[in-house]
Amino acid sequence: MSLKIRLASIEDVPAIRALLADDELGQRREDLSENGLKHYETAFAAIAADARNRLYVALEGGRVVGTYQVTYIPYLSRGGNERAHIEAVRVASDRRGEGIGRAMMLHALDEAKARGCLMAQLTSDKSRKEAHRFYEDLGFTATHWGFKKTL
Amino acid sequence: MSLKIRLASIEDVPAIRALLADDELGQRREDLSENGLKHYETAFAAIAADARNRLYVALEGGRVVGTYQVTYIPYLSRGGNERAHIEAVRVASDRRGEGIGRAMMLHALDEAKARGCLMAQLTSDKSRKEAHRFYEDLGFTATHWGFKKTL
């Protein structure tokens, strides 16, 4: 089936929330209650209104089977340029291993190049070993440690 | 001497550029020519105009001795919130080990908390081993790999 990647709309938010919860790490931290949906919709509006943030969905037929977000971060370093910072990459658990993630990342890299970014970057939880091979196959190199601190 | 941390202004750009170039990794990639300055100034204007990006300098007397940048990234995940994404942390080579970096990171964490962020994150080149201990001492954990790809 052919895959379509487009900017997410407010109607996609329930499907994106379900994707974010659809893995081992995500299910512990997402709020899937009816009441919780409005927080996701408010967050979506903030992302959609920001010219340096883009949230995408991948569709097969009418079904949302993947999502990712990119933030274009303007830097002083290296003479000034934006970097494409990719996060929240998810593929529906029943559709993994079929090239959806790869298609989304190639889409992200194409968009970043078209925008003039000199670098794309992302972090991946150390426990997601399959994801690491996936990113290396796409030409990413794990040159850094990713540090997090809960506030 | 007392340290002051404030938002950077356009007049600080030459000093920030010098700090970015003032380490082993940075000296290979920064353009220190007079002609190159205008690219840094253009990049500074883009950062200063973006409500989700803040570039700070740390001053001792009138001298810029440190810098860091924070990008507040809006997310759908975890019910919607911004994360504080910290980059470009630098301290003047003759002033390292005296708490300037620590003061800047505590400043960043305070600002992020005040803004309602639930998480702060950063990546650090695997070769910067002293920086890793520094971030761990501040309560950061290296839970992720940081992947980069040149475009």
pLDDT in tens, chain A (151 residues): 699 999 999 999 999 999 998 876 666 677 888 788 999 999 999 999 999 999 999 999 999 999 999 999 999 986 678 999 999 899 999 999 999 999 999 999 999 999 999 999 999 999 988 899 999 999 999 999 999 999 9
A-B contacts at Cβ under 8 angstroms: 218
Q: How far is A138 from chain B (nearest CA, A)?
A: 9
What is the 8-class DSSP label of residue A1? -
Q: Establish if B108 touches chain A: CB-CB under 8 angstroms.
A: no
Q: What is the pLDDT of residues B83-141, one digit of tens each?
A: 999 998 999 999 999 999 999 999 999 999 999 999 999 999 999 888 999 999 999 99
Q: What is the pLDDT of residues B31-89, one digit of tens each?
A: 888 888 999 999 999 999 999 999 999 999 999 999 999 999 999 986 678 999 999 89
What is the 8-class DSSP label of residue A13? H
B85/A75 CB distance under 8 A: no
d(CA A86, CA A90): 11
Of B31, B76, B143, the CB nearest to A125: B143
Q: Establish if A76 touches chain B: CB-CB under 8 angstroms.
A: yes
Instruction: Return the pLDDT at B25.
Output: 65
Biggest CA–CA distance in chain A, Å, is: 47
Instruction: Return the pLDDT at A104.
Output: 98
A75/B81 CB distance under 8 A: no
Interacting residues of A5 by C-beta distance below 8 A, sequence separation 6+: A56, A57, A58, A59, A66, A103, A104, A107
- Among left, alpha and beta (phi > 0; psi -120 to 50; other), residue A97 is left
